[in-house]
Amino acid sequence: MRNHRSSLGTLLHHVHVSGPLSRAALAERMGVNRSTILALTAELVASGLVREEYPAATHGAGRPSLVVRPESERVYVLAFDVAVDRVVAARVGLGGPILDRREAARPRAGVDLDTVVGKLAGLGRDLVDAAPPGSVCVGLGASYCGMIRPGDGMVRYGPEMGWVDQAFGAELGRALGAGLPVFVGNEAHLGALAEYKRGSGVGFPDLIYLHGDVGVGGGILVGGKLLGGEAGYGCEVGHMLVNPFDGRPCLCGSRGCLEAETGEHALLAEAGRPPDLAGRDAARAVLRDAAAGEPAATNAVARIGDWLGIGVANLINLFNPAVVIFGGTLRDLYAVTAPHVAARICQHAMPVSRERAKLRLSGLADDATLIGAADLGFAALLADPLPLPARDC
Ligand SMILES: [Zn+2]
């Protein structure tokens, strides 16, 4: 029985990640015969999780094979993303499409748990109210820009918001009143997993994802598994020490951390911008000015690129990744600093460690963390799809 249920979950997982697949492709991937696929698919169709149909475009003569397609419009999760400057809520369908979304700006300072939870719950309820009749919410997932205790969604430390031991997952679950738990993960951890499943990391089980917001987060996959550490707080690459002697102070209390040297504050300060200036638009303006050859911005980009390259060189020496992916605001930064980053990698990473390492921009752009949160929400369904929880979130 357990085997059967896990086979249902495996089949559903394949179409969730890869999209429509023929019975033959599913049989090959799962190592079972086609009649088993037929039986499993029939159960999932009866439950409204997948449907079978002819592919939209076919080539060649003869009748095309049916494909198994996830019921993306009907079966969804609510996904939430708490970033430094914004909060996002989305209805994400089985198979990964973002069906609907709501977004709100949030101030950086003085934002307490109740305010954030209240805002997110309001956005979530709006999404559910706007969902088509007959849709089913099967889970809730959230991404948070801080260190999250696995299991209960407790924010142990959120440096940008000053949160320590805040019961974010539990409170959001209560505010939504859906009778479903909210699974919470660190934004960069979730971004790494999302890029591996659907973005620039597909096919690379040994990858490093670097997520820029105001600071820098990291997610490291080894053999396709997230390197969580002893208690789930691993991969804090933003606090890797790169400049201990005259480094900039970091929010963590140390100085010279990678994020202190490469984050938004460092970029604006190096470019000589006013000390009260902040925000993604201001950082982008520096990058634009550097591309146009403005001297202070050009020097800032060179220095920040140096530090970023030193950090990545350390990671390449340590983990020998197949790919390093730059996400969030690091997409913008890497696009401008790539030559500096490459020079430092060449100088500091050992040839044997770096020779196959690719450097890529995030394929999911600003939605990597949100898509990762959605996958947290889908995890229970994919582990054991039946019976489908017919709850109205
Ligand atoms: Zn730090």
Provide mean pLDDT across the span 77-100. Answer: 96
Compute the distance from residue 210 Cα to the ligand 1 centre, in Å: 15
Compute the distance from residue 239 Cα to the ligand 1 centre, in Å: 4
Residue 259 per-residue DSSP state = H
312, 341 contact by CB (below 8 A): yes
Compute the distance from residue 256 Cα to the ligand 1 centre, in Å: 7
**pLDDT classification of 60: cutoffs 50, 70, 90:** low
**pLDDT classification of 110: cutoffs 50, 70, 90:** confident
What's residue 95's pLDDT?
97
Burial (CB < 10 A; 0-12, 13-18, 19+), residue 309, is buried
**50 is written with which tokens?**
């997948």
Does the pLDDT of residue 387 top 80, yes or no? no
Supply φ then ψ for residue 259, to 5 degrees.
Answer: -75, -30
Compute the distance from residue 159 Cα to the ligand 1 centre, in Å: 9
Supply φ then ψ for residue 292, to 5 degrees.
Answer: -85, 0
The greatest distance separating any two alpha carbons of the chain, rounded to the nearest whole angstrom, comes to 71
Compute the distance from residue 238 Cα to the ligand 1 centre, in Å: 6
Does the pLDDT of residue 11 top 60, yes or no? yes
Compute the distance from residue 260 Cα to the ligand 1 centre, in Å: 7
Show Cβ contacts of residue 293 under 8 Å, excluding neighbours closer than 6 positions.
Answer: none
Does the pLDDT of residue 302 top 90, yes or no? yes
**36 is written with which tokens?**
């088993």
Compute the distance from residue 257 Cα to the ligand 1 centre, in Å: 5
Compute the distance from residue 11 Cα to the ligand 1 centre, in Å: 42
Compute the distance from residue 16 Cα to the ligand 1 centre, in Å: 37
Compute the distance from residue 369 Cα to the ligand 1 centre, in Å: 21
The residue ranking higher by pLDDT, 63 or 290, is 290
Does the pLDDT of residue 157 top 60, yes or no? yes
Compute the distance from residue 354 Cα to the ligand 1 centre, in Å: 26
Compute the distance from residue 307 Cα to the ligand 1 centre, in Å: 14
Compute the distance from residue 380 Cα to the ligand 1 centre, in Å: 34
How many angstroms separate the CA atoms of 212 and 263, rounded?
7
Does the pLDDT of residue 317 top 60, yes or no? yes
**Which residue type is seen at 310?**
I
Prediction pTM value: 0.94
Compute the distance from residue 72 Cα to the ligand 1 centre, in Å: 40
Residues in a beta bridge with 359? 324
Does the pLDDT of residue 389 top 70, yes or no? no
How many angstroms separate the CA atoms of 317 and 102, rounded?
41
CA nearest 66: which of 94, 93, 45, 97?
45
Compute the distance from residue 259 Cα to the ligand 1 centre, in Å: 7
Does the pLDDT of residue 337 top 90, yes or no? yes
How many angstroms separate the CA atoms of 158 and 139, rounded?
24
Compute the distance from residue 309 Cα to the ligand 1 centre, in Å: 17
What's residue 390's pLDDT?
54
Compute the distance from residue 174 Cα to the ligand 1 centre, in Å: 33
What's residue 259's pLDDT?
96
Compute the distance from residue 143 Cα to the ligand 1 centre, in Å: 20
Compute the distance from residue 249 Cα to the ligand 1 centre, in Å: 8
